[in-house]
Structure 1
Amino acid sequence: METDPESMGQENGTDPPAEEKISLLPLLAVNFIGTLGLSIVLPFLVFLVNRLGGNAFIYGLASSMYPAFQLIGAPILGRWSDIYGRKKVLLLSQVGTLLSWLIFLGALFLPIVTLFEVDSEVLGAFTFTLPLAVLFFARAFDGLTGGNVSVANAYLADITEEKDRNRNFGKMSVSSNLGFIVGPALAGLLSVTEYGEVAPVLGAVIISFIGTALIIFYVPENRECSLERSLKESLERPFEGPADAEKIRKVFGYEIKECRTVQKMGKPSFREVLKLPDIPYMLGLYFLIFLGFNIFYTAFPLHAIAALDWGITKMGVYFTVLSALLIIVQGSILPRLSNKYSDASLIIFGSLMLGTNFLLLIPGNLFLTYLATGFFALGDGLMWPSFLSLLSKIAGRNYQGTVQGFASSFGGLASITGLILGGLLYEQLAGRAFLLAGMVIYIVFLLNFRLRRFEKELKH
C-alpha cells in the first residue's frame, strides 16, 4: 500500500524526516570497536588456555561460556530494547564487555593454583586452575550482557528502509571484519612485546572503553516504537474529533502494521514469537549456521597448531587475511549482486561456497588452507548479511528487537554445542572434524531453497 513517509512520520511520530535520518557511522564504529575487542585475543586464547592448564576440551568449554550466558541475556536485552530503546541497552551491553575484560586482565596476574585435575579418555588430561576459573567467569559475564549484536541489528533495521537492508547489513559485516583484520594483526604485534599476553588484553580494555564512550556521545536514540514512548504519546495526544476515512485507512493500514498494539509489543513471549509466520524456520537455520561456524572456530586453532605448526603470529596473519577477503566480498561484490539477485538467492549460493571451505581444511595443507579462505569469504560474505536482511524483513518492526534477541539465543545455543563439540571432535578425529562442519552447512544449503517462498510471501 502506498503511503507518504513524511506525512506519516508527522502523524505517528515514528519515521523521522529525511534530514533527520540517523547516520550509520556511529553504529558502524561501535560494531567495529566491539569486534576489535573480541578479535584481539583470538590468536592467542588457545595458547593461554594451554598455559594455564587446559586442553582442547577446556579451550572449547572456555569459548562456549560467552554464548552459553548470551543465551540467557540476549532475549532479555532484545526485549528491553523494544521497550526502553536501543541506545540504553547498547550502553548496558558495552559496559558489561568493558568490565569483563577488566576481570580477564586480572586473571593473568593470579597465581596458577590447581583446583582439580582430570585424566579421561574422552575429555583428555587437563588441570583446572584458579586463573582458568576467573577467565571462565569473565567470558560468562560478557555473554550475559552480550546483546550488543542483536540490538545493533535491530537498531539498523529500525533506521533502514527494506530496499537498503541487504546493503546496510553488508556494511555492518564490513565493519565487523575490519575489526577482525585489525584485532589479530594488533594481537600479533603486542604479544611479542615484553608484556606478552597482558598487552593484547589491556588493548581490549582500552578498546572497550572507547566503544562505551562512542555509544554515550555519538549514538542517538532512534525514534522507532518503544513501550515508554508509545504510552507517553498516547497520553499526550489531544482529542481531535472524528477522523476522516483517509486517516482511518492510514491508521489501520500503516500504524498497526508497523507498531501493532502497545500491550502486545511490551512483552512478547517465546511462544508468540514462534507463532509469527516463517520465524521458526529462520531460527532453525540460524541455529544450524552457527553450529557449523563454531565447530570451525574451536577446531581450527587446534588444527593450525597440530597440523600446520603455527604460532600466535601466523594465526593472526591467517585471520587477518580471512577478514580482508570478507571485506572485499561484502564491500564490493555484495552491493553489486544484491541489486541483481534476491536475498534468498545469495543465501543459497553463499551456503554452498561456505560448506566447500570446510572440506578444504581437512588435509591440513597450507595451500588448501589459504584457498579455503576465499571460499569462506565468498560464502559467509554473501550469505550472512543476506540472511540477516531477510530475517529482519520477516520479523517486522514490531518484533524486531525480540526476534533478533531470540535469534541470538538460538545462535548461542548452537555456539555452545559447536564450540564444545569442536574441541571434543578434534581430540578424537583431528582434521576430519571439519567434515561435520561442512555437512551441517550443506544441509543448510538444501534447506535454504524454501526461502524463495518466504520472499514471495513478503511481496504480497
Structure 2
Amino acid sequence: MNFFKIIPPKIFPILLVNFIGILGYSIVVPILIFIVTDLGGNGFIYGILGAMYPFFQFIGAPILGSLSDRVGRKKVLIISQLGTFLAWLLFLLAFILPQTELWSQHTGLTGSYVMTLPLLVIFLARIFDGFTGGNISVANAYLSDISTDEDRNKNFGKMGASTSLGFVLGPAVAGILASTYLGEVLPLILAAVISLIAIFVINTRLEESNPCVVDTGGIELKSFRRFFQVEHKDCYFDGELQANPQVKESWKTILSEPGIPLLFSIYFLTFLAFSLFYAGLPIYANTILHWSASDLGIFLAYSSLIMVLVQGPVLNWLSDKVSNEALILIGSLLLALSFFLLSIENILILYVANTLLSVGNGLMWPSFMALLSRTGNKQKQGAIQGYGNSMGSIASMFGLILGGMLFESIATYVFVIGAVIFFLITILMAGKFLNRRKEKQVSVAAQG
C-alpha cells in the first residue's frame, strides 16, 4: 500500500510537527509527580504546578492564534517551539541548584510540603512554556487551512493519531530512561533535544498555510524584524474581496459565531474532566498503587496505543459513515463509564477503564476538533482555535488544582466527578445531535 494514500503529503509535515511536540511533552508526564515529591512537594503542589501551564497558555494562546491569522502559522509555530526549548533548559537548571528551603506548610487543605528553590525554578519553567504554548491551537488552525469538507474528518483523525502516537512513545521512553543512572534528568534532556528538532522541521519542511500571507522563507537570525516581514495580499472569499485582518478578534466576536458557545462549553467541560484525571492518576499511582515511573509509563503508553488504533484506521473508516455529532455522543458516553470504573481500586478494572477511556477519547476528540474547525468564519480559525484552547486552559487550571486538592480528601472518588461531567457532555451532544437530525429532515422535506 502506498504510504501517501494513508497520509497525504500535504498534511504529513504538520502531523510530524505535532507528533514531535507531543513526544517531547509526554516524556515528562509519568516522571513529574516523582520529581515534585523528591524536591519537597506533594499532591497539592503537583496540582498547582500542573495549573501553571494552562493558566499562562490561557493568556498566550489567543494572542498567538490571532497572530497566526496575520503573520502566518509557520512563524508562530517556531516562536512556540522556541519557548518550549528554553523552558526545558530552565527545567534542567533546577537539577543543579541546591535544595534550599524557601518555606513549608502543613494544613488540612494543602497537606504537608516544602517549597524549595529547584521547585520554584520548575514553576518558572512551566509558566514560560505555557505562555508560549500556542502550538496546539495554531497546528489545528493550520490543519483547518489545508483541509476540505471532504477530508476534514479524516485529517483531524490523523492529527489525533499522531498525538496518541507521541503519547505511546513518550511515557514508554520516560519509564526506560528514568531507570538509568541519570534518573529523571535524561528524559528532560531528550525533551529539550526534541524541541530543537521540532524547530528545524517547522523551519525547513512546513509550508505556510494561511492564504492571506506570503511566506518570506526561513528564520534570519541576523534580523528578528525580517522574521515578521510578511507581505499581505488581497484574498477572495465567497466572491467578496477582503483585506487580511489586522484587528485582533475579541471574545465577543468569536462567541457571536453560530454554534461556537456550545462547542466552547464542551471544550471547557472536556478539559475539566481530563484535568481531574491527569491530576489524580499520578498521585493515585504514587501513593495508593505504589507504582514506579515505569509502571505509570506503561499504563499511559497502553492508553495511547489504543487511541492510535481508534484515531487511525477505525476513525478513518467511520468518518464517512457516522456524523461528528454521533461520534462525540458515543465517545463521551464511553468516557463517562470509564471515569466511573477508574474509581475502583482493582488493577484489572483499571485497565478495562483505561481501554474504554482510550476508545472514547479516540472517537470523541478528533470528531470534536473537526466539528469546531468547520464552525464559524474560516478566516477566523486561528482566533477560534486560540480561544478554544483558552477555554481548555481555564478548565485545566481549575481542574488540576482541584484534582490535586480533592485527591487528598476523597481519593479515587475524584474520578466519579469526571464521570458526571462527561455524562453532562453526553446530554449536551444529544440535544445537538437531535437538532441536526431535525434540520436534515426539514431540508429533505423542503427539497421534496
Is residue 254 from structure 1 mapped to residue 243 from structure 2 by the alignment? no
Give the partner amino acid of 1:401.
G
Q: CA deviation at 1:262?
A: 3.1
Give the partner amino acid of 2:169.
V
1:14 corresponds in structure 2 to none
1:415 corresponds in structure 2 to 396
Residue 125 of structure 1 is aligned with which of 112, 118, 121?
Answer: 112
Q: 1:454 to 1:86 in 2, by over 3 A?
A: farther
Residue 150 of structure 1 is aligned with which of 113, 123, 137?
Answer: 137
Is residue 343 from structure 1 mapped to residue 324 from structure 2 by the alignment? yes
Residue 166 of structure 1 is aligned with which of 114, 129, 153?
Answer: 153
Q: Distance between the aligned counterparts of 2:78 and 2:422, measured in 1?
A: 34
Is residue 375 from structure 1 mapped to residue 375 from structure 2 by the alignment? no
Is residue 180 from structure 1 mapped to residue 164 from structure 2 by the alignment? no
After superposition, the C-alpha distances for 1:383-432 in whole angstroms (9 at most, x for unaligned) are 00000000111123111000000000000000001101110110010111
Give the partner amino acid of 2:123.
F
Structure 1: which 5+ residue stretches go unaligned?
A: 1-20, 238-250
Is residue 32 from structure 1 mapped to residue 16 from structure 2 by the alignment? no
2:416 corresponds in structure 1 to 435
- Alignment map for 1:385-400 (pairs within 5 Å): 385-400=366-381
Is residue 141 from structure 1 mapped to residue 128 from structure 2 by the alignment? yes
Residue 283 of structure 1 is aligned with which of 264, 271, 282?
Answer: 264
Q: Distance between the aligned counterparts of 2:273 and 2:393, measured in 1?
A: 12
- Classify the secondary structure of the residue corresponding to 2:290: coil
Give the partner amino acid of 1:275.
S
Give the partner amino acid of 1:218.
R
Q: 1:227 to 1:288 in 2, by over 3 A?
A: farther
Q: CA deviation at 1:456?
A: 7.6
Q: 1:149 to 1:52 in 2, by over 3 A?
A: same
Q: CA deviation at 1:170?
A: 0.8
1:50 corresponds in structure 2 to 37
2:192 corresponds in structure 1 to 205
Q: Distance between the aligned counterparts of 1:266 and 1:84, measured in 2?
A: 12
Percent identity among equivalent residues? 44
Give the partner amino acid of 1:254.
D
Give the partner amino acid of 2:15.
L
Q: Distance between the aligned counterparts of 1:230 and 1:188, measured in 2?
A: 44
1:244 corresponds in structure 2 to none
The higher radius of gyration belongs to: 1
- Alignment map for 1:421-460 (pairs within 5 Å): 421-452=402-433, 453=435
Q: Distance between the aligned counterparts of 2:254 and 2:423, measured in 1?
A: 27
My pick for the range that moved more, 151-160 or 395-404, is: 395-404
After superposition, the C-alpha distances for 1:225-273 in whole angstroms (9 at most, x for unaligned) are 3599998434xx9xxxxxxxxxxxxx6x8244xxx74375632211111
- Does the 8 Å CA contact 1:180/1:323 hold for their aligned counterparts? yes
- Classify the secondary structure of the residue corresponding to 1:390: helix
Q: 1:263 to 1:180 in 2, by over 3 A?
A: closer
- Does the 8 Å CA contact 2:71/2:230 hold for their aligned counterparts? no
Aligned residues: 421
Give the partner amino acid of 1:435.
V
Give the partner amino acid of 1:268.
E
Give the partner amino acid of 1:425.
L
- Does the 8 Å CA contact 1:278/1:454 hold for their aligned counterparts? no
Q: Distance between the aligned counterparts of 1:31 and 1:230, measured in 2?
A: 24
Q: Distance between the aligned counterparts of 1:219 and 1:137, measured in 2?
A: 30
Q: 1:432 to 1:386 in 2, by over 3 A?
A: same
My pick for the range that moved more, 78-87 or 276-285, is: 276-285
My pick for the range that moved more, 272-281 or 302-311, is: 302-311
2:233 corresponds in structure 1 to 233
Is residue 310 from structure 1 mapped to residue 295 from structure 2 by the alignment? no
After superposition, the C-alpha distances for 1:361-394 in whole angstroms (9 at most, x for unaligned) are 1111100111112111111000000000001111
Q: CA deviation at 1:451?
A: 2.8
Q: Distance between the aligned counterparts of 2:249 and 2:197, measured in 1?
A: 34
- Does the 8 Å CA contact 2:60/2:134 hold for their aligned counterparts? yes
Structure 1 length normalisation: TM-score?
0.88
Structure 2 length normalisation: TM-score?
0.90
Give the partner amino acid of 1:271.
K
Q: Distance between the aligned counterparts of 1:270 and 1:27, measured in 2?
A: 27
Structure 2: which 5+ residue stretches go unaligned?
A: 1-7, 216-228, 444-448
Is residue 216 from structure 1 mapped to residue 203 from structure 2 by the alignment? yes
Give the partner amino acid of 1:187.
A
Q: CA deviation at 1:305?
A: 2.0
- Does the 8 Å CA contact 2:213/2:233 hold for their aligned counterparts? no
Q: Distance between the aligned counterparts of 1:457 and 1:73, measured in 2?
A: 38
